[in-house]
Amino acid sequence: MRVTVITPLCLLSAPALVGYDAPLAEVRPLDCAFKQASRFDQSATTQGKAEGPTAYIKIIATGSDQGPCDVRATLHVKESNENEKELAIGRNTNAGFQVVDWSPDRNSILIASEHWTDVFSAPLLTIYDSLRGTHSTIDVEALFAAHGWRECSAVVEASGFTFNGEIVVHVEPGSLQKRPKDCSADRSYWAFDPRKRELHQLRPDFKQARYGKVVAPAYRPCKEDPNVVDACFALHGRAFLSNGTPSLRIWRIGTDRILGVFDPENELIPDSLEKKLSGFDVDVYGDFEVCPFTKRQPGEMQTVCVESADHLIVKHN
């Protein structure tokens, strides 16, 4: 089932004080194994200020389980005049990406990508200046190494900005894999000026403010997805969860056709349908509009996304 990772935030006039684990938007990594030489996008949208620019991340995976996998991630910034800029932020990687936040002056965007190692786990950061159209990359692990944290374990995550524009990261003891010793015994916040890049620890009572807000739709669009290979169509059917891949399937009532809802890890379905699919003992009958990701072939399950789901009736087995 799809897991929503976009966290609704406060109004810009009064940023909420929230924990380090609530970035504006996260884009999950893609796995080419299920893409079957197709193109697949994931995006999350944030807005820095009213009538201001909008930023989102797009990840495209091209490849299959039979050949090489090429994964590319790009940041897209759309200005109020509808001009859109694109910045490459990763390639040939299954790392997740986050739009962490806009800066307090709403001119810069902080993007983080996962960068796991055996001992010290810290993100690669990209700072994008939306006014100048320039960017810089920061290796957080190298900053802590220069601070003297070598041959010790820690998990570092991007947190956001201070009120004066410094970048904030959150540190926890230990790593998920090896732990020779902990760099720090406690959880803590650290900050640095993106130009000077000299770390200093923040007060224990530091609270992270947010300066952007999420304006993303509740689910990724289906009909506009670039994977769609043919015209969308309406049907009356029964949606149900099943063992196997994909798990979510739709029986087209009156036929022997079963449609598989793509992709297996993060189905493209409206919230109205997702809320009713509570387990394997539930059938959801209704009128669906679906868009095909594969051509119809005899004896093969056609894969689709669900654009709309109406007149839903739930029956328990």
Tokens of 159: 């947190």
What type of residue is 27? V
- In this predicted model, what pLDDT tens digit does every residue of 104-161 receive, in sequence order? 988 899 999 876 666 788 889 999 998 888 899 999 999 999 999 988 888 899 999 9
Q: Which of 21, 55, 27 is nearest to 41 (CA)?
A: 27
More confident residue, 28 or 146: 146
- In this predicted model, what pLDDT tens digit does every residue of 155-185 receive, in sequence order? 899 999 999 999 999 998 875 555 678 888 8
What does the pLDDT read at residue 41? 60
What is the CATH code of the structural domain delimited by 233-316? 2.40.50
What does the pLDDT read at residue 37? 40
Q: How far apart are CA 313 and CA 189, in angstroms?
A: 49
**In the chain, which segments carry CATH 2.40.50?**
233-316
On whether the pTM is more than 0.85, the answer is no
More confident residue, 300 or 176: 300
Which of 24-28, 105-109, 193-197 bottoms out in mean pLDDT, i.e. has the lowest? 24-28
> What are the angstrom distances between the C-alpha of 172 and each of 5, 157, 186, 235?
21, 9, 7, 51
Q: Is the CA virtual torsion 129, 135, 136, 140 positive or negative?
A: positive
How confident is the prediction for the chain on average, in pLDDT?
A: 79
What does the pLDDT read at residue 110? 94
- In this predicted model, what pLDDT tens digit does every residue of 45-87 receive, in sequence order? 777 766 677 888 877 766 655 556 677 788 888 877 678 888 8
- In this predicted model, what pLDDT tens digit does every residue of 206-239 receive, in sequence order? 999 988 887 655 455 688 776 788 999 999 999 9
pLDDT at 246 over 70: yes
Average pLDDT over residues 97-110: 90
- In this predicted model, what pLDDT tens digit does every residue of 247-274 receive, in sequence order? 899 999 999 999 998 765 556 788 788 8
